[in-house]
Chains A and B, each alone.
Chain A
């Protein structure tokens, strides 16, 4: 029964015909109140999805891309969850592809800086990079031919380039494509540039052949510099006690500019705002790597994942181990004072991301728990 509209105090229109009219204009304020209510600190904790996801990727808008099978017997699917809206879900489908029932297939996904595009490769699809336009809600296309699925995918800040890193010893590569978006050349299977077996890399053990301890394993975590002119990629080395290296190459030709030997296996790396240094995490410790001169300095905190603030000298970090605590911790590190603050207990975090404006940090664990850091001011 639609009967009347009348202005209530505060200018809110309360439509008498029911739920859809009530509180429509105040909905955002109500949701904000609920979020603030559950906030014990600057961190808010909320479930993002049910079940364990084999792979997750976070966007700068708080969207989580996760591969999950919510029910037994159903095929895993790629789903986008909105951390700001519990009801906002979208399943991604590639035309002509029917995902297999098999779980925990390798995958790699990456959001563009603005969160408008998602690029990903998943063993349940054809071995190519698939690009989705999330604003237009459409599948844009696929490109690249892979014998081994990319271990890591990355977007340039302007969304013009996509890089994909693969492992696999001699055949491993770091490749770069034009995305076909925002004035970039159209997508093609052949990459614009490719870096293969690094000839600058010294073998860490000399008696072994490729594929054994100390040999080149492939390219891992890869990130573009803030201006998009360089790319940093982890050069993975075989063996439990081996030290990975970090390659800095120019975009788009992937010519080596610098390279650096880290201490242990590198689990994450991030460019600092300004692009004159990066921070990497190796063997659960955080290091700052300056380029001029090329110099690494251990930071006074442990971290397995870290992401730099887009404009300020801050890091959002996660460590699964902390003295006197059975739980892992998310925290903010201030690189001006090398101090950590705003800690939050968290388990199994696998991805962290700052919002585009740097006002929030999102983190998500593999079992679907999301953490949102939203301080009053930074």
Chain B
């Protein structure tokens, strides 16, 4: 028995009245499996859409606003340092300067370096969504029943996630066809073993659906999602809140620069 793929097909039509009890049971389980496979693919697509949207939004936010916060905190750290240098006996000023430097480093690490190209927001085409559903149905690791197969699927699924997020349709198609033509996709036989395998796959898929629901709920409660939702609502009303936020921080930067000049001049 070498069956490792998920593309077991309902046998009820071909079995007819001569089917053995385990074959009839297998046919029913395969139908159940096909249903959960489709449901899992749909949930996986939704979760991946949300992750990709939030991931892309995070990149945009850090590019447009995060890097400005890093610049602002760097200026604040410089101001605090100048003040501490001007009052060497003031332990509080020294401690504030130290804290300001730590905060500036943290903000810089979080915001990262500003890239030359502004990140795009995430948007998947209907064809990409269809392809992703197929990949999830066929390759999903939670539909595997053997460890080696599972590992292989995990790698492929990760590649598929990457391709989906970057909008790479060709790569997604290649992953799908590559898997379907692989030796692991060849079906085996033996109704008893198939039945056990398919029951386990159904159970794994059900557990993953629960996991995905919890993950999605958590993402929907995150600050990142709240901020994105707020910005999306404002966008619908014609406002570009991300730019407004950036402008506010830029104002603070201008004031910080002026403050730094004053503190430097006082030395």
The answer to whether A and B assemble together is yes
Let me know if A294 is at the binding interface, CB within 8 A: no
Among B119, B154, B215, contact of A3 (Cβ-Cβ < 8 Å)? B154
Among B13-21, B25-33, B192-200, B252-260, the one that faces the other chain is B252-260
A-chain residues with CB within 8 Å of residue B112 when the two chains form the complex: 9-12
Let me know if A311 is at the binding interface, CB within 8 A: yes
Let me know if B79 is at the binding interface, CB within 8 A: yes
Closest Cβ of chain A: how far from B113's Cβ, in Å?
Answer: 7
Q: Report the separation of the CA atoms of residues A20 and B113 in the bound assembly, to the nearest whole angstrom.
A: 23
Given A26-B110, A37-B230: A376 touches B61 (CB 8 Å cut-off): no
Q: Report the separation of the CA atoms of residues A8 and B162 in the bound assembly, to the nearest whole angstrom.
A: 11
Q: Report the separation of the CA atoms of residues A357 and B66 in the bound assembly, to the nearest whole angstrom.
A: 24
Q: Report the separation of the CA atoms of residues A113 and B111 in the bound assembly, to the nearest whole angstrom.
A: 32
Let me know if B223 is at the binding interface, CB within 8 A: yes
A-chain residues with CB within 8 Å of residue B218 when the two chains form the complex: 18-20
Contact, CB under 8 Å: B58 / A26: yes
Let me know if B129 is at the binding interface, CB within 8 A: no
Contact, CB under 8 Å: A4 / B158: yes
Q: Report the separation of the CA atoms of residues A156 and B251 in the bound assembly, to the nearest whole angstrom.
A: 39
Contact, CB under 8 Å: B157 / A10: no
Given pairs A18-B47, A28-B106, A30-B224, 10 additional interface contacts (CB within 8 A):
A1-B142, A3-B158, A8-B58, A12-B58, A19-B219, A22-B54, A23-B54, A26-B110, A28-B110, A377-B79
Closest Cβ of chain A: how far from B167's Cβ, in Å?
Answer: 15
Among A1, A31, A357, contact of B99 (Cβ-Cβ < 8 Å)? A357
Beta-carbon nearest neighbor of A3 in chain B: B158
Closest Cβ of chain A: how far from B163's Cβ, in Å?
Answer: 12
Provide the B168-189 mask, 1 if CB < 8 A to any CB of A, else 0.
0000000000000000000000
Let me know if B130 is at the binding interface, CB within 8 A: no
Contact, CB under 8 Å: B222 / A19: yes
For B, the interface residue count at a CB cutoff of 8 angstroms equals 55
Closest Cβ of chain A: how far from B100's Cβ, in Å?
Answer: 9
Q: Report the separation of the CA atoms of residues A9 and B248 in the bound assembly, to the nearest whole angstrom.
A: 23
Contact, CB under 8 Å: B51 / A16: yes
Q: Report the separation of the CA atoms of residues A1 and B44 in the bound assembly, to the nearest whole angstrom.
A: 10
Contact, CB under 8 Å: B66 / A311: no
Of A1, A28, A36, A311, most B-chain CB atoms within 10 Å? A1
B-chain residues with CB within 8 Å of residue A33 when the two chains form the complex: 61, 65, 69, 227, 245
Let me know if B59 is at the binding interface, CB within 8 A: yes
Let me know if B63 is at the binding interface, CB within 8 A: yes
Interface residues of B in 209-267 (CB under 8 A from A): 211, 215-216, 218-219, 222-224, 226-227, 230, 241, 245, 248-249, 252, 255-256, 259
Let me know if A29 is at the binding interface, CB within 8 A: yes
Contact, CB under 8 Å: A34 / B226: yes
Q: Report the separation of the CA atoms of residues A8 and B256 in the bound assembly, to the nearest whole angstrom.
A: 30
The DSSP consensus for interface residues of chain B is helix
Closest Cβ of chain B: how far from A115's Cβ, in Å?
Answer: 14
Contact, CB under 8 Å: A8 / B55: yes
Given A1-B141, A1-B154, A10-B115: A376 touches B255 (CB 8 Å cut-off): yes
Contact, CB under 8 Å: A1 / B255: no
A-chain residues with CB within 8 Å of residue B114 when the two chains form the complex: 10
Let me know if B161 is at the binding interface, CB within 8 A: yes
Given A19-B218, A29-B62, A32-B69: A377 touches B259 (CB 8 Å cut-off): yes
Q: Report the separation of the CA atoms of residues A305 and B73 in the bound assembly, to the nearest whole angstrom.
A: 32
Contact, CB under 8 Å: B96 / A357: yes
Contact, CB under 8 Å: A37 / B245: yes
Let me know if A6 is at the binding interface, CB within 8 A: yes
Contact, CB under 8 Å: B59 / A18: no
B-chain residues with CB within 8 Å of residue A12 when the two chains form the complex: 58-59, 62, 110, 112
Among B69, B113, B219, contact of A11 (Cβ-Cβ < 8 Å)? B113
Let me know if A27 is at the binding interface, CB within 8 A: yes
A-chain residues with CB within 8 Å of residue B152 when the two chains form the complex: none
Beta-carbon nearest neighbor of B263 in chain A: A377
A-chain residues with CB within 8 Å of residue B61 when the two chains form the complex: 26, 29-30, 33
Let me know if B208 is at the binding interface, CB within 8 A: yes
Let me know if A14 is at the binding interface, CB within 8 A: yes
B-chain residues with CB within 8 Å of residue A3 when the two chains form the complex: 141, 154-155, 157-158, 161
